[in-house]
Amino acid sequence: MGKQEKKEDQQEQSEACIGSAEHKQVESKVKLDAHGEMLLRQYRELRPTLQQLSDEASHLLRQALSEQGIYVTAIEHRVKTEKSLIGKLELKGAKYKDIGDITDLVGLRIITFYTDEVDKVAVIAKRLFDIDWKDSVDKRKLHELDAFGYNSLHYICRLKTGGPRFELQMRTALQHVWSTIEHDTGYKGDVKIPRVYMRQFSRLAGMMELIDDEFSRLRTVLTDYRRQTLALVKNGKLDDVPLSRDTFRSYLELHPFDHLNRRIAAVNQAELFPVSMMSYLPVFESFGLETVGDVQHFIDENSEDAYQLALSQLAITDLDILSSNTALQYLCLVYVLKHDGGRDGLKSLYDIINGENSTNGMLADLMMEQAKTLPFFGKLKTKN
């Protein structure tokens, strides 16, 4: 990369907050030659078209990424400012015959979480736009063994419907961080950086690449793990599946509490109001349930007594709306009582379910009174 191009790169970086750049007439001290002035006039005429292009290309990308379920950290777009263009024309205006030869008048940048997502975004871009391969560059492949830097994938694109070309940069969040810091240090300026500092840059760049790759690898490993455990849940091998947010969520897709919920709801012909059951995961952890199989055994062993307890409470009311975690709640209450939790155990359970508050003690007392009338509680007392 020549020195002039490096300078321009710095200027482009200073436009990093791409956003919707407003058109400002710049009182430039730079005196452009006649050709430069001609290009500038062309740019001013083209500005509304460029703004429209910037918005449309950004919209198309955003929509396509959303349809493909790809979440990115940022999608930025901007039209090159007049000030930046003047700087470019001053440096190398003669290189361009026409304003259309300048490919970055509109710039878009997509910042992804992972390296492999850069490639996915590139595939989407190829589908959405016509790519000018002659001017597109994968800077990731340009590094010499002893070179440093950490760059991104750049495509020069055109809408399928025609119009001016624009530049699309695709990079990971870490690549973006690198690029931003690199710019901030100003190492690409006029002062020659001593070799010792260049080497420090090189080492850091290598580390960033390594971290990026490791994050991608870790995500792949975790995705595989999640897939395997979910398959175990689906196949009913529940004892082999550690209990976690993901596996519990997957287990809930089997509707394990529906049967008991329907039995309880039938007491008062009640409507079941759907609510999240995920808040009970900490309760299971406090019970020491370690696998999804443990949760299944917990349901199997306590359902009948949970039903009896719910029945004793609801039958004397006319409450005909219940939350979909009613079954879960009564299962947990019974579990605590069967494990000698007593009144204090019930209060602790309510503290987890409801959050600590002054009425949890009252609720525990109420539940103890109800439980005392039930057969399972009598058996417990006899056993003890």
Interface ranges with another protein (CB under 8 A): 270, 273, 275-276, 279, 313-314, 317-326, 328-329, 350, 353-355, 357, 359, 362-363, 366
Three-class SS of residue 325? coil
- In the complex, least distance from residue 54 CB atom to another protein, rounded to whole angstroms: 30
Q: Which of 28, 35, 29, 128 is nearest to 81 (CA)?
A: 28
- In the complex, least distance from residue 341 CB atom to another protein, rounded to whole angstroms: 17
Q: For another protein, which is the closer residue by CB, 205 or 333?
A: 333
Q: For another protein, which is the closer residue by CB, 54 or 313?
A: 313
- In the complex, least distance from residue 27 CB atom to another protein, rounded to whole angstroms: 42
- In the complex, least distance from residue 267 CB atom to another protein, rounded to whole angstroms: 11
- In the complex, least distance from residue 321 CB atom to another protein, rounded to whole angstroms: 5
Q: For another protein, which is the closer residue by CB, 223 or 354?
A: 354
Q: For another protein, which is the closer residue by CB, 99 or 331?
A: 331
Residues 321, 342: contact at Cβ < 8 Å? no
Q: Which of 227, 222, 296, 307 is nearest to 267 (CA)?
A: 307
Three-class SS of residue 323? strand
Q: How far is residue 123's CA from residue 108's CA, in Å, rounded to a whole number?
A: 16
- In the complex, least distance from residue 378 CB atom to another protein, rounded to whole angstroms: 22
The residue length of the chain stands at 384
- In the complex, least distance from residue 271 CB atom to another protein, rounded to whole angstroms: 8
CB burial class (10 A; 0-12, 13-18, 19+) of residue 213? middle
Distant-in-sequence, close-in-space partners of 65: CB < 8 Å, separation ≥ 6: 71, 72, 75, 110, 121, 124
Distant-in-sequence, close-in-space partners of 291: CB < 8 Å, separation ≥ 6: 238, 239, 240, 241, 242, 243
Q: For another protein, which is the closer residue by CB, 105 or 327?
A: 327
Q: For another protein, which is the closer residue by CB, 27 or 271?
A: 271
Residues 138, 153: contact at Cβ < 8 Å? yes
- In the complex, least distance from residue 286 CB atom to another protein, rounded to whole angstroms: 15
The letter for the amino acid at 339 is H
Distant-in-sequence, close-in-space partners of 19: CB < 8 Å, separation ≥ 6: 76, 77, 78
Q: For another protein, which is the closer residue by CB, 221 or 362?
A: 362
- The total of other beta-carbon atoms located within 10 Å of residue 78's CB is 24
Say what angle helices 173-185 and 3-13 make with each other, to 10 degrees. Answer: 110
Q: For another protein, which is the closer residue by CB, 4 or 359?
A: 359
Q: How far is residue 78's CA from residue 88's CA, in Å, rounded to a whole number?
A: 16
Q: For another protein, which is the closer residue by CB, 129 or 307?
A: 307
- In the complex, least distance from residue 368 CB atom to another protein, rounded to whole angstroms: 13
